[in-house]
Amino acid sequence: MRVLIIEDDNLLANGLTETLRRAGYVVDAVSSAEAADAALRVTEVDLLVLDIGLPGMDGFSWLRKLRARGGQQAVLVLTARDAVTDRVLGLTVGADDYLAKPFATEELVARVSALARRGRAIRSRVIEHGALMVDLARKRALVDGKPLELSQREYAILEYLFSNVGAIVGKDKIAGAVASWDEHISPNAIEVHISRLRAKLEPAGVVIRTIRGLGYLVEAPANAKP
Q: Could you report the per-residue pLDDT of 23-51, keeping only the tens digit for each?
A: 989 999 999 999 999 999 888 888 999 99
Fold for the domain defined by 2-122: Rossmann fold (3.40.50)
Per-residue pLDDT tens digits for 95-137: 899 888 888 999 999 999 888 777 655 455 678 888 888 887 6
pLDDT for 12 beyond 70: yes
pTM, entire model: 0.61
One-letter identity of residue 188: N
Strands 132-135 and 2-6: unpaired
Helix extents (H) in the chain: 10-22, 33-42, 59-68, 84-93, 105-122, 152-162, 171-178, 187-201
Per-residue pLDDT tens digits for 132-183: 888 876 778 898 888 899 998 999 999 889 888 888 999 998 998 888 877 8
User: Would you call 83 exposed, middle or buried from its count of C-beta atoms within 10 A (0-12, 13-18, 19+)?
Assistant: exposed
Query: Cα–Cα distances in Å, from 146 out to 98, 130, 137, 158, 163?
Result: 39, 14, 17, 16, 20
Domain ranges of the chain: 2-122, 126-217
Fold for the domain defined by 126-217: Arc Repressor Mutant, subunit A (1.10.10)
